[in-house]
Amino acid sequence: MSEILLSIKNLNVEFKTDEGIVHAVKNFNLDIKKGETVGLVGESGSGKSVTSLAIMGLIPNPPGKITSGEILFQGKDLLKMSREELRKIRGNKISMIFQEPMTSLNPVFTVGNQIDEAIILHQKVSAKEARKRTLELLHEVGIPNYEQKVNDYPHQMSGGQKQRVMIAMAMACKPDLMICDEPTTALDVTIQKQVLELMFNLQNKHGMAMLFITHDLGVIAEVANHVAVMFRGDLVESSSAKEIFNDPKHPYTKGLMACRPSLDKNPKRLLTVETFLNAENAKISDIKVEYKVEKETDDEKYPVLLEIRNLKKYFPIKGGIFGRTVDEFKAVDDVSFKLRKGRILGLVGESGCGKTTLGRAILRLIEPTAGDIIYSGVNLGTLNHSQMQAMRRKMQIIFQDPYSSLNPRMTVGDIITEPLEIHNVGANKKERYDVAQSLMEKVGLKTAHLTRYPHEFSGGQRQRICIARALSLKPEFIICDESVSALDVSVQAQVLNLLLDLQDEFKLTYIFISHDLGVVKFLADEVGVMNKGKIVEYAKASEIYKNPREDYTKRLLDAIPRGIPVRG
Amino acid sequence: MSIKSGSLSAHAWRQIKKEKLAMLSLFIIVIYVLIALASVTGLLAANWSKEVGASYSAPSLQHIFGTDIFGRSVLEKTIKGTEVAISVGLVTAVLSITIGVFLGAMAGYFGGFIDEMIVWFYTTLSSIPTTMLLVAIALILGKGMLAVYLALGLTSWVSLCRLIRGEVMRHCEREYVQAASAIGGGHLRKIFKHILPNVSHIVIINFSLQFQTAIKSEVILSYLGLGVQGRPSWGTMIDDSKLELARGVWWQLAAATIAMMFVVLAFNILGDALRDALDPKLKGKS
């Protein structure tokens, strides 16, 4: 088992950009043994995906170029192989699973056809035999009703099922090495757990090696024997999973471990990677964590700010020739709760449980079907359009995707001052820009960046811009809709800390919507667990984690990666 | 990695500047526009109807494109034709884009009954063969420039309207538009400040394509005798040369087609370069 399957030696990859040459990977060395899982960890832009593309020979040239190094696969250098030789290895001996299952399957072919194709491409078998193997594979990756599902099109399957199909496709030719590039990042935690388990089992059964790329150390702990940590193109640490988790050496690794909210302890603020990188070696041991004091949730001193009574949102399902409404989809089904001032309510559930619809219905971004939303004594349902617009000053929302929630054609300054302009705050543009400048400082961005456009910022920075925009009208209440889900864990910690800092400073009340119970547990005072449009469990955050009543809640809790290495 | 500062349009402009062929096309178009302007103001070809030489004299140094049946300079007629072509292209493109963007944005943004009405209107319109419609409009309004402008402008907005409608619908779902409603922005602000700038690339690309389509359509209309009257246009020149060709007089036909070919080609190349530079869906596929 200790035979080396893939060996990367002194790999250097450069990209030519408008601003000059970027070294994406610098002097990278890594060995993958037969049957072993190697985790490659790093934040976006650290060069981990570039490394995997280099192995597959998929670096786009130009602008990318492998300047030196060798990648030995079973003793042969992949970089020196001809296109034809490489094609025989790719998909056959080495296969790859991508992050986005929605876009890596071809929407116009059935999943069966796509797996058949992968088999026929590399093995000389008849279509009938290929289909037989396809069925076996689908069974193996745990697709229910696989005999019918084989003829389904990708859009008829859920995200988790599509990722299973991708795994089946990657497994089709019994590869020696499987490269998984963030295979579970786009999935809910519950589905992530199932997919990880599946990969773990398949690997044990077939004894293939795996290179598992992710930004999340928690996930790595579940699968990897060996962990390599990349930071800005450099390999900063590489050792066995046990060693990395029990005794991380590099400050960056230490930071990555600390920045993930854990389930057992509840710090006041999360430690960030920066804390560790900035600290001198000797001082790392001095880094202390302050723990949170639980706030009273039904304290009479704190008035109820928001009350939701029997809120419902149904979407009609149209059918028949005349497009009549044949049924209703109950996205939010009879939800009630109270939220006190200065508290954080966490709404948790899998995708499709109605948590996002609930958030938007509260702000009347979509009109609720029935029910009352009472915000500091005012029933929002009774307000007309202009009264509601005035109310929006007090209630804000921060969206999930920092890439699509900023208008790409407006400068950051215009984006942040737009709410002020709409509500006639500030006498002129200059005054509004002064407000924007102070907001930029508050969210930790440079004031000089007000003249830039959103595409010049990273995901985390964009989310800060969204927060600045939400804060510009000095709201009392903010809904955060999966606001950190699209971010790397290290960036997520910074944004979560920022949200808490801002809460202290402006006395904000939040509803925090997320599929990740770990994040919600860190942030929220009370938690509502949603399933199929209903709140199935509602309790104090600490209660829910100690004594979950519903099976559904227990499942969600179980799915959170613990960050304890399972393999040595 | 920092990306060079500047707006998306500044970015696109930098990219177009790198494309030599696109810049050459732009240069050609500018020259055509200048010629048209000079012709309108009377600096060029003011006396196009004057007899300058013998009937049907072949191209020579004196008359670069030769003369026509009445001994008029074909060069000056071509210049006069450029004026017609550019003005038809411009007016038609502006007209069709105004209608297309307005109706498309209304249909896509408001949806429901408004959308149904607009879709019904343009599907009805587009179910009539375009040339028949052009003939009908030209006949009703009487022959002349105005008829050409209106006939082309009123029939060419449908495809743009469809595109804009779909794009606006897509953008309405985007979170930045929802964010605009969350901060209390009204319909007009959302449409004009947020959505339309984000579909402007379609408008720009479409403008360059409409422009050249209109030029070609004008030529066809004039050739059929439904277009401009009493003044030269490329279409009437080609129409004239039907009989001339039999006598070996090729220069009038050549002058008109070459003039048309260059401007249409330039618009096509520029249109493609604009699409490459502006369309966000093609980003990263260099």
**pLDDT tens digit string along A336-360?**
998 888 889 999 988 878 888 899 9
Going by C-alpha positions, the residue among A550, A560, A559, A545 that lies closest to residue A530 is A550
| pLDDT, greater one: B117 or A486 | B117
Nearest CA in chain A to B198: A409
Distance from C-alpha of A138 to C-alpha of A148, rounded to nearest angstrom: 11
**Length of chain A (residues):** 568
> Is residue B5's pLDDT more than 60?
no
Q: Residues with Cβ < 8 Å from A517, sequence gap 6 or more?
A: A189, A263, A348, A527, A545, A556, A557, A560
Are A396 and B183 in contact (CB < 8 Å)? Answer: yes
> In sequence order, what DSSP letters do the residues of B187-236 get, joined into one string?
HHIIIIIIIHHHHHHHHHHHHHHHHHHHHHHHHHHHHTT-S--SS--HHH
**Yes or no, beta carbons of B197 and A409 under 8 Å apart:** yes
Residue from the list B7, B176, B186 with its beta carbon closest to the beta carbon of A453? B7
Measure CB to CB from residue B185 to each of A399, A401, A422 and give the nearest one: A422
Taking contacts as CB-CB distances below 8 angstroms, the residues of chain B near A452 are: 5
Could you give the ipTM of this predicted complex? 0.76
- The Cα A314–Cα A361 span in angstroms is 11
Residue B5 is nearest to which of A365, A397, A456, comparing CB atoms?
A: A456
Place of tokens 């603020």: A269
Chain B positions in Cβ-Cβ contact with residue A363 (cut-off 8 Å): 182
The two structure tokens encoding residue A425: 């705050």
pLDDT per residue as tens digits for the range B131-150 = 788 788 878 887 778 888 88
Neighbouring residues of B25: CB distance < 8 A, sequence distance ≥ 6: B265, B266, B267, B269, B270, B273
| Residue ranges of chain A whose CB lies within 8 Å of a chain B CB | 17-19, 22, 45, 360, 363, 365, 389-390, 392-393, 396-397, 399-401, 404-411, 418-419, 422-423, 451-453, 455-456, 466, 469, 473
Regarding predicted confidence, which is higher, A58 or B115?
A: B115
Q: What is the pLDDT of residue B2?
A: 39
Share of chain B above pLDDT 70, in %: 95
Tell me which chain B residue has its CA closest to the CA of residue A472.
B183
pLDDT value at position B168? 94
Nearest to A22 among B1, B6, B186 (CB): B1
Contact, B65 vs B78, CB < 8 A?
Answer: yes
- The lowest-confidence range among B30-34, B39-43, B84-88, B136-140 is B136-140
Please check whether residue B1 touches A, CB under 8 A: yes
**Who among B9, B175, B189 is closest to A405 (CB)?**
B175
pLDDT at B286: 37
- Across residues B182-195, what is the average pLDDT? 88
How many angstroms separate the CA atoms of B283 and A523, rounded? 38
pLDDT tens digits, A119-136: 888 888 888 889 998 998
B173 in contact with A at a CB cutoff of 8 Å? no
pLDDT at B246: 83
Q: State yes or no: pLDDT of B27 exceeds 90.
A: yes
Chain B positions touching A466 (Cβ under 8 A) are 179
β-strands A76-77, A64-73 pairing: antiparallel
Of residues A19, A389, A405, nearest to B2 (C-beta): A19
Residue A433 token pair: 């820009």
pLDDT in tens, B14-24: 888 888 899 99
Q: Which residues of chain A have pLDDT under 70?
A: 1-2, 280-300, 320, 323, 567-568
Q: How far is A396 from chain B (nearest CA, A)?
A: 6
Which of these, B153, B151, B157, B180, lies nearest to B106 by C-alpha position?
Answer: B157
> Are residues A436 and A472 in contact, defined by beta-carbon separation less than 8 angstroms?
yes
Q: Does B61 touch chain A (CB under 8 A)?
A: no
